[in-house]
Amino acid sequence: VGGSNDPRGALIVLEGLDRSGKSSQSARLVSYLEGIGHSAELWRFPDRTTSVGQMISAYLSNKSQLDDHTIHLLFSANRWEKRSLMETKLMSGTTLIVDRYSYSGVAFSAAKGLDLHWCKAPEFGLPAPDLVLYLDIPPEKAAERGGYGGERYEQLEFQKKVAECYHALRDSSWKIIDACRPMEEIEKQLQSIVLDNILACKVGKPISQLWS
């Protein structure tokens, strides 16, 4: 397994505001890919299972307070600690469907007023996604869906700022998905975009690095 001529997997990230449908759609994508015989795994950031992830989780649930820069760097460290496993999986042919990544990292911290370039810097050199699926929904609509928990950031006024910051991060790897449509319709659209992307990666597209 993992010989250098074997096709690699794709790194596919879902981004969007809270309640945009990322987690449901990520899970459905992975079942779909597995169902048609592709090796795929569901990942999410923050990964709350590591010791860094537990500090992040305590912060998000308001059990601890941290300086804005400090928590920003912890979110980034939480990706770096998974980097080598991420690359190993991709090189062995497994596609990773990732619920949030560096774009959440930058958008949420920049929404607090931190400098955008400062926010991007610690992400330099992480594997760049082959595809970013941005589930686009107006903040007001997302809030109407209910189910905001009591976590930090789950407030309409803050989510509006996050949406603006996400906008500034769009690049050619992004596909903007209208997330206001019925779930099944979105699911079908994501399946076809993702299949095309996986095939493109199999024909030898190298893994690049953020921010490219």
- Closest-by-Cβ residue to ligand 2DT is 105
Please give the Cα distance from 71 to 67 (Å, whole number).
6
# of chain residues touching ligand 2DT (CB under 6 A): 9
Q: What is the DSSP string of 93-161?
A: T-EEEEES-HHHHHHHHHTTT--HHHHHGGGTTSBPPSEEEEEE--HHHHHHT----S-TT-SHHHHHH
28 lines the binding site for ligand 2DT (CB under 6 A)? no
60 binds ligand 2DT (CB under 6 A): yes
Q: Least distance to ligand 2DT from the beta carbon of 124, Å?
A: 14
Which residues, 97 to 126, sit near ligand 2DT by CB under 6 A? 100, 104-105, 108
134 belongs to the binding site for ligand 2DT (CB under 6 A): no
- Residue 90 sits in the site that holds ligand 2DT (CB under 6 A): no
Does 9 bind ligand 2DT (CB under 6 A)? Our answer is: no
- Contact footprint for ligand 2DT (CB under 6 A): 45-46, 60, 75, 100, 104-105, 108, 153
